[in-house]
């Protein structure tokens, strides 16, 4: 309860920050995107991890105003870096079920793009499969409306949810993000390896880009490269970092080797 009250006032009190984690192209070694990840810096509780408040924010509906703040802040940041002459990046923003169910979702994203001036193709919406199960027809319609804005769409945590291959045909998505639980043991476990190889093949055949999440080790990277994965995200290259650090990373021109 205490945490709910605190969460309620966190937006006005400016207690949220975004950290950014690089997404790296495996062919060039360059940073091509970033995922915006929400952090709550409470004056007394300290840094509250998302696992402790995203669920509550979701239940209480507070995720709607918080999510709107995330969207605005991430798009404004991406545009500011473009304007500063840094190489244009895609910014990925997580959408929760509550946000997905808001009747004004499309209009609100359109407004953020207009307000910030970020090219729509630079915004990537991360969706989980669970968003599609309730009403598939309505989800398809919504995705088409989002697609019409020119934004990109990714399926987050791919393979862990209600993976139905039929929606991959009908949904206008651009990217599959392989859940990190599959990446952990790819270098040693034949079954995990087989799953990852199959997801990469599936993405290729459907002309989707594929991003491996949670890459922590050279062996995982070698495996993903050998099997034609497009991009990686994970501690091996960088943890999610505050905007200032991310900017330094961009300016340093550091590449994955
Ligand atoms: O950020 P990790 O660094 O700990 O994130 C933990 C969880 O919180 C992940 O499942 C991630 O998708 C979720 N998360 C992080 N930022 C956001 C956000 O801005 N919106 C939503 N809906 N979920 C987020
Ligand atoms: O659910 P989603 O995929 O949006 O959340 C991303 C989560 O994964 C965040 O909590 C982020 O901090 C975490 N993460 C990012 N890279 C790594 C990694 O290499 N290893 C692990 N264990 N977690 C990671
Ligand atoms: Na995500
Ligand atoms: Mn994920």
* Residue 249 near residue 241, CB atoms below 8 Å: yes
How far is residue 252's CA from residue 66's CA, in Å, rounded to a whole number? 32
Contact 158, 177 (CB under 8 A): yes
Is the predicted pLDDT of residue 134 greater than 70, yes or no? yes
User: What average pLDDT does the structure give for the chain?
Assistant: 95
pLDDT at residue 149 greater than cutoff 70 = yes
Q: Which of 54, 97, 241 to mutate to test the pocket of ligand 1 (most atoms within 8 A of CB)?
A: 54
Banded pLDDT at 212 (limits 50, 70, 90): very high
Q: Is the CB of 127 under 6 A from ligand 1?
A: no
Radius of gyration of the chain (CA): 18
CB distance 230 to 209 below 8 Å: yes
Whose C-alpha lies nearest to ligand 2, atom 8?
214
- pLDDT grade, residue 132 (50/70/90)? confident
- Confidence band (pLDDT; 50, 70, 90) for 2? confident
Cβ atoms of 66 and 57 within 8 Å: the answer is: yes
H-state helical runs in 160-208? 165-170, 180-183, 190-205
The values of phi and psi at residue 25, to 5°, are -75, 125
Can you give the pLDDT at residue 87?
Answer: 92
Torsion over CA: 180, 184, 188, 191 (sign): negative
Instruction: Report which ligand 1 atom has the smallest distance to the Cα of 96.
Output: 22
Q: What pLDDT does residue 1 have?
A: 64
Beta carbons within 8 Å of 105's beta carbon, 6+ residues apart: 99, 142, 146
What is the ipTM score, two decimals?
0.97
DSSP 251: H
Mutate to test the pocket of ligand 1, among 19, 21, 35, 37 (most ligand atoms within 8 A of CB): 37
For the segment 229-244, the average pLDDT, to the nearest whole number, is 98
Mutate to test the pocket of ligand 1, among 7, 18, 38, 61 (most ligand atoms within 8 A of CB): 38
State if residue 22 touches ligand 2 by the CB under 6 angstroms criterion.
no
Residue 49 in contact with ligand 2 by CB distance below 6 A: no
What is the mean pLDDT of the segment spanning 192-218? 96
Ligand at minimal distance from the CA of 51 is 1
Decide if pLDDT at 169 tops 90: no
pLDDT value of position 49: 92
The pTM of the full predicted model, rounded to 2 decimals, is 0.97
Q: Which atom of ligand 1 is nearest to the CA of 63?
A: 22
Handedness of CA 142, 146, 147, 149 (dihedral sign): positive
The model's pLDDT over 105-126, given as tens digits with 9 standing for 90+, comes to 999 999 999 999 999 999 999 9
* Ligand 2, atom 9, residue with closest C-alpha: 37
Q: In the chain, which ranges are continuous DSSP H helix?
A: 2-10, 50-60, 63-83, 97-100, 105-116, 136-149, 165-170, 180-183, 190-205, 218-226, 243-252
Distance CA 103, CA 211 (A): 30
Which bound ligand lies closest to the C-alpha atom of 233? 2
For 91, 132, 135, 183, the CA distances from 34, given in Å and listed in that order, are 5, 24, 30, 19
Q: Are 96 and 54 in contact (CB under 8 A)?
A: yes
């Amino acid at each position: 309860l205490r945490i709910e009250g605190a969460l309620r006032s966190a937006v006005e009190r400016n207690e949220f920050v975004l950290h950014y984690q690089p997404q790296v192209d495996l062919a060039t070694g360059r940073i091509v995107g970033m995922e915006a990840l929400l952090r709550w810096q409470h004056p007394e509780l300290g840094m509250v991890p998302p696992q402790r408040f995203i669920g509550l924010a979701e239940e209480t509906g507070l995720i709607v105003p918080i999510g709107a703040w995330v969207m605005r802040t991430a798009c404004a940041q991406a545009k500011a870096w473009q304007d500063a002459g840094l190489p244009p990046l895609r910014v990925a923003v997580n959408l929760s079920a509550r946000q997905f169910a808001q009747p004004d979702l499309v209009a609100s994203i359109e407004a953020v793009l207009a307000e910030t001036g970020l090219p729509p193709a630079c915004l990537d919406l991360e969706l989980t499969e669970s968003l599609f199960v309730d009403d598939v027809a309505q989800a398809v319609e919504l995705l088409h409306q989002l697609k019409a804005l020119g934004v990109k769409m990714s399926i987050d945590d791919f393979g862990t949810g209600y993976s139905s291959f039929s929606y991959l045909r009908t949904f206008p998505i651009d990217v599959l993000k392989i859940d990190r639980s599959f990446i952990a043991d790819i270098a040693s476990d034949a079954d995990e390896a087989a799953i990852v190889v199959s997801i990469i093949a599936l993405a290729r055949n459907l002309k989707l880009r594929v991003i491996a999440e949670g890459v922590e080790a050279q062996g995982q990277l070698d495996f993903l490269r050998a099997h034609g994965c497009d991009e990686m995200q994970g501690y091996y290259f960088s943890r999610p970092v505050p905007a200032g650090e991310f900017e330094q990373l961009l300016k340093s021109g550091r590449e994955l080797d």
